Structure 1
Amino acid sequence: MKIASIQMSVIEGDKAATIEKAAARIQTCADADLIMLPEMWNLGFLSFDAYATEAEEKNGPTLTMLCSMAEKTNSWLHSGSFVEKEGANLYNSSYLISPQGKIAGSYRKIHLFGFNSKETQILTPGDAVSVVDTPLGKIGMATCFDLRFPELFRKMVDKGAELFLVCSAWPYPRLEAWQMLNRVRAMENQCFLVSSNSVGMNRGVQFVGHSMVADPWGVVMAGGGDEETVIRTEIDIKKVAAARETFPGLAGRVDWLN
């Protein structure tokens, strides 16, 4: 399975141009089986003043473009996330789109970030764990701050997850925490993990980038720095079962603690 994780910056104050930029980046990854984008890439995570006015319903310009690009590239596409409006509520929403341009699954960020952030004031948290059964494997989705909550990833493993996709807008100075948590979530759950993190500046804050692909042993197979790039590698999903058989760490879980 060929992976392409797009690490990009927002064009601050110009959502339409950023959507066009993302479409162009996706087109360069047409040889990949799975492509993913960062968290809140079309606005910038810290553009809280624009959340309400730029929120989209499911048929809005962001998801419409992504469904079209998934079909055009014949790839599975993780949307990254964007502000989605449903009724009176706003969500930090992600979608997994099939090579036919159809929505295969969705996830709404459960753990909203409140430290120097207005996300908890503006958005409604999600209430469902998401694992999607695809021809590529069973894919679990998470977003940024979710990385700090291992119980979510355990829930995804209980639903059969073999591959975690984590979109993010993780800022400096917490680079070491980002790198550690990516690897640990992969290792402790004996899953592959692919992350796509934002780079560049948004509202005066710089994001750390360093998107990566980690294997079921927590080893980084490919990664980036803090500039725009595409992280590419190939993974064999069968190595999840092989890792769990070689070292049956998950088999040692104690039921009454779960």
Structure 2
Amino acid sequence: MNVAAVQLPAENAPEENRDRAVERVRDAAERGADLAVLPEMWPVGYFAFDAYDDAAEPVPGSTTDRLAALADELSIHLHGGSLVERDGDDLYNTSVLFDPNGELLATYRKIHLFGYDSEEATRLTPGDEICAVETDLGTLGLTTCYDLRFPTLYRELVDAGVEILLVTSAWPRERLDHWHLFTRTRAVENQSLLVAANLTGSIDGVDLGGESVVVDPWGVERANAGTDARTVLAEVALDEVRETRESFPALADRQL
């Protein structure tokens, strides 16, 4: 299968961002993508915290309806990145996954909200459930940005049967070394494929890192988007996960 990480610029321009995301996902599908992954909070650019309240919408809502129609049109699995979800009086950082018929397969409310040099933890409500979902591509696990720093979350996903880890992110450029460390480590220690889509560019004084990646179960980066707004594809196979786990049974050897 072909997987795509769609790297978008960080801009607080929701309508333009929606048009851009649709265009880029359509291009990924034309290039053969079976699964496309969008970045974190791409409609508002993540660090535009003052825009969260106005940008918030229910799920399903206008943005997810458009993504659902796109997945159906292109007949691909689409991880729609994340957006500001409004549910009653609470706001969440919520990511969404659609199947090739446009059905909303899963939502994931980010568990670990970022508080360092960020207002996310004060403006949003954390989620409290992991998200593992069976699909025709394999069992997928949804995670978001700061989650990468919490290995127990990923181990819970693997224990739930996950074979492909998906990460939607707005990772800053100043900690880009950590981005590569954690994406590779989470793939290796869980013997899983990992697809991570990051924002790029700058917003509200913060430079985003870009370098969206596809990582195999041995920690090899099979694709890297660099720092420009672009989409990268990589051909991977679910058998890579199963063969790695069988030939080097680190997961089976766990004692704790």
- CA drift of 1:250 comes to 0.8
The two structures have a TM-score, normalised by structure 1, of: 0.97
Match for residue 19 of structure 1?
A: 18
How many Å apart are 1:125 and its aligned residue?
0.4
**Aligned 8 A contact 2:132 2:160 in 1:** yes
Q: Which amino acid aligns with 1:5?
A: A
1:8 match: 8
Alignment deviations for residues 80-136 of structure 1 (CA, whole Å, 9 cap, x no partner): 000000111100001110110001111110000000100010100000010000010
Equivalent positions of 1:62-77 (< 5 A) are 62-77=63-78
Aligned to 1:196: 197
- Find the residue that maps to 1:40 and give its secondary structure: coil
Q: Distance in 2 between matches of 1:246 and 1:59?
A: 42
1:253 aligns with 2:239: no
Residue identity matched to 2:251? L
Return the alpha-carbon distance in structure 2 between the equivalents of residues 59 and 222 of structure 1: 32
What percent of counterpart residues are identical?
A: 44
Alignment of 1:41-52 (within 5 A): 41-52=42-53
C-alpha separation between the residues in 1 aligned to 2:233 and 2:54?
35
More off after superposition, 22-31 vs 166-175: 22-31
Q: How many angstroms apart in 2 are the aligned matches of 1:62 and 1:203?
A: 23
Q: 3-state SS of the aligned residue for 2:60?
A: coil
Q: Report how far residue 231 of structure 1 moved.
A: 1.0
Structure 2 counterpart of 1:215, which letter?
Answer: D
Deviating 4+ runs (over 2 angstroms): none
Shift of 1:52: 1.0
Output the CA distance in 2 between the equivalents of 1:220 and 1:116.
Answer: 29
The within-5 A match list for 1:66-145 is: 66-145=67-146
3-state secondary structure, aligned to 1:177: helix
Structure 1 stretches lacking a partner, 5+ long? none
User: Which residues of 2 match residues 187-226 of structure 1 at below 5 A?
Assistant: 187-226=188-227
**Paired amino acid for 1:11:** E
**CA separation in 2, counterparts of 1:5 and 1:72?**
19
Kept after mapping to 1: 8 A contact 2:173/2:210: no
CA–CA distance in structure 1, aligned partners of residues 28 and 146 of structure 2: 27
CA distance in structure 1 between the partners assigned to 2:212 and 2:49 by the alignment: 23
1: CA distance, partners of 2:147 / 2:202: 22
TM-score calculated relative to the size of structure 2: 0.97
SS of the residue 1:100 aligns to: coil
What is the identity, as a one-letter code, of the residue corresponding to 1:247? F
Question: Post-superposition shift, 1:60?
Answer: 2.1
Query: Residue type matched to 2:7 in 1?
Result: Q
Match of 1:164 in 2: 165
1: CA distance, partners of 2:212 / 2:5: 7
Paired AA for residue 38 in structure 2: L
1:68-91 deviation digits (Å, cap 9, x = unpaired): 110111100001000000111100
Distance (whole Å) between structure 1 residues aligned to residue 224 and residue 199 of structure 2: 13
